[in-house]
Structure 1
């Protein structure tokens, strides 16, 4: 009888899970890998982590290395797609240095 081996998580997935454990106590709900769709129902991106507290949303972008400019561009794109929601803050999490920066 053969066993099914569990899928090994990528470095990025491990950092997303690490961040979720760090921030989960601050929010009513934490969502991971949330897809973003355009008005034409096309997939345009994915939010690494969304923290929901009292009807407001905090958006987190996770990078394995310190690439804050790319994260800033992605967070701006996400904010534009979430105009109908109350997005409070956006954050960049660098997995390599374990630093969390409000952008």
Structure 2
């Protein structure tokens, strides 16, 4: 059995926290271009026709999360309505 990384543990914690608010949750959604992977969404949540993306970090690095959220909005094939940042260490959930 493979050991679960700290980041993956935080992703699972976030999913447990928000699963009652959404219809469908997907984790580690990769967005690829023709030649390479462009970005990855840690948690993609759908409720009705609305999509929310969650960026998970082990520590409070909100600037890096904002940069990754910008890439997600730019390259995602569907419209992302809201993007959130989740800090696993503090348990903070912030709307970006």
TM-score range, shorter chain: over 0.9
Which residue, out of 11, 15, 20, partners 2:15?
A: 20
> What do you get for the CA RMSD once the two structures are aligned?
1.0
Please report the TM-score for the alignment, with normalisation by the length of structure 2.
0.95
Q: Deviation at 1:25?
A: 0.7
- Kindly indicate whether the alpha-carbon contact (under 8 Å) linking 2:6 and 2:58 is maintained by their aligned counterparts in 1: yes
Q: Which residue of 1 aligns with 2:69?
A: 75
Query: Where does structure 1 lack aligned partners over 5 or more consecutive residues?
Result: 1-5
Separation in 1, partners of 2:32, 2:49: 21
Q: Which residue of 2 aligns with 1:87?
A: 80
Q: Deviation at 1:55?
A: 1.6
Q: Which residue of 1 aligns with 2:52?
A: 58
